[in-house]
Amino acid sequence: MGQPLNSCCHPQVPELRVGLSIGLARHQFLYKDALDWLDDADKALYTAKHKGLNTISVTLSRTATDNANPQKVIQNYKQLLSCISL
């Protein structure tokens, strides 16, 4: 994911580099409203930013059974993101 972003540059400002941090929260009916959902995505975004450039952070489900395999959740999101062209 980071490689195409690293190659983005402007000819007049070659020292400028582009990075991407993404915070994701899966929609679920346990959220009382959209603001709670966005709040979880926002928290995941700041976690990604603190980890460094070109990072994805996922807020997992609020239920224990959905959190049983966080690597699978992250893998699914990465697969989804690979379909997005930048």
Contact 58, 72 (CB under 8 A): no
Span 23-78, pLDDT tens digits: 888 877 777 888 888 888 898 888 888 888 777 787 776 554 455 566 766 776 67
In the structure encoding, which two tokens stand for residue 24, read together?
Answer: 């994701």
Q: How many CB atoms lie within 10 A of CB 26?
A: 17
Span 41-51, pLDDT tens digits: 898 888 888 88
pLDDT at 69: 63
Cβ within 8 Å of residue 77, ≥6 positions away = 24, 56, 58
What's the whole-model pTM score? Answer: 0.56
Q: Please give the helix or strand (H or E) that residue 79 lies within, else none.
A: helix 70-82
Owner of token pair 């700041």? 46
**Strand ranges for 1-86 from DSSP E:** 21-25, 55-59
